[in-house]
Chain A
Amino acid sequence: MYAIIESGSIRETFSSRKSFELNGLKYAKNVWTLWSESDLNDAGCFIVVETDTNYKDPAFYTNTDPIYTYDADGSTVTRTYGTATAQDLNTIKTREKAIVKIDAHNLLQKSDWEITKAKELDEDVASATTTYRASVRTKANAMETAITNASDMAAMLTLFTRNGSGVRPIGDLPTS
């Protein structure tokens, strides 16, 4: 994020570097990359310090509008958020369980033809297929149970938050 300071106040903020006019001068877009930060600040141009500790996953919370603050002494413009409000827990649980069902359905659908063929021709289904389909159902059930058991939105958020390795407590449906 970027901010323009005019007469000691934030005139505008924007997310992409752009050209702008300030105090009777027209600046090209590439000043944001070519100028030193101190030169930018002297001209009234600031790269916003994004302090987003209150910002939470909008799938589970309603965030406040960002709050931009200019500190003339520290020559900084910071972005903060107010306290996020949790969405309705039951609504979110219903939604997330529905998503699990849809995802499981889509995974099972890929091998449905094998089940149909075996049924029509009175053949055995490959054991690998049977095992995989069972694992999808088992995992989907476990995920729905975990969602049901989440005591509050913080617990829900924890379930779905991936760590540095991309793993999340609720896990993922098997893909093979």
Chain B
Amino acid sequence: MAVTKAFHNATLIGLNSIVTSSSDTVIKPRTDAKDIIFQQADGTSILEINDGAYARFTAAAVNPEATLTDASTVTWNALTQSVAKVTLGANRTMGLASGGVTGAFISLLVIQDGTGSRTITWNAAYEFAANTAPTLTTTANLGDLFVFRYNGAKWLETGRNLALVLS
């Protein structure tokens, strides 16, 4: 009954179908070569599922910044905390970022606490230029920003920006 109602509503708003496939929900436009566009009430487009087989964000796609828990070994979920920061209260180990999907990008802002000179020992799955673990800024309260891309096995560093004042 629920599926029937969903199908009916989909037809009303111009979608071909909202159906299930292997337990997934599939949404298709009614007409070929047409896009699916998500808009605000005033007509401002936010997201377009383009017929050219890509998604276009007409407004920024924001991954909220997550604050990782400072601990002896810092845990990081690449899916739910793709944009993250952590303030180091001592010398720490950065654990393997879980939930890696090939092609995913994640970023981490490492902030020195008021004492500074904190170090991070990285899980070997993080790969840096010349296979050399980075030397963090030691100045208190400054930040070092790292970006990684997942290749299915390792988080490859794609960039870093050190000694950021942050305020």
Contacts and interface: CB of A to CB of B under 8 A. Distances in A.
| Chain A bound to chain B | yes
A44 to B, nearest CB: 11
Contacts of B126: 26
Contact of B133 (A24, A27, A35, A43): A27
Nearest to B120: A28
B136 interface: yes
SS class of chain B's interface: helix, strand, loop or mixed?
A: loop
Contacts of B133: 19, 21, 26-29
B121 A27 contact: yes
Contact of B124 (A19, A26, A35, A43): A26
Contact of A34 (B91, B128, B134): B91
A27 B122 CA distance: 7
A30 interface: yes
Contacts of B124: 21, 24-26
Nearest to A18: B132
Contact of B122 (A25, A29, A30, A35): A25
Interface residues of B, number: 18
Q: Is the interface of A mostly helix, strand, loop or mixed?
A: mixed
B119 A30 contact: yes
B17 interface: no
B75 interface: no
Contacts of A30: 119, 135-136, 138
B93 interface: yes
A27 B91 CA distance: 11
Contacts of B138: 30, 34
B160 to A, nearest CB: 12
Interface string B128-145: 100111111010000000
A25 B135 contact: no
The winner among A19, A29, A35 for most chain B CB atoms within 10 A is A19
Contacts of A34: 91, 117, 119, 138
Contacts of A31: 91, 119, 121
A43 B138 CA distance: 21
A130 B122 CA distance: 71
A128 B128 CA distance: 67
A28 B119 contact: yes
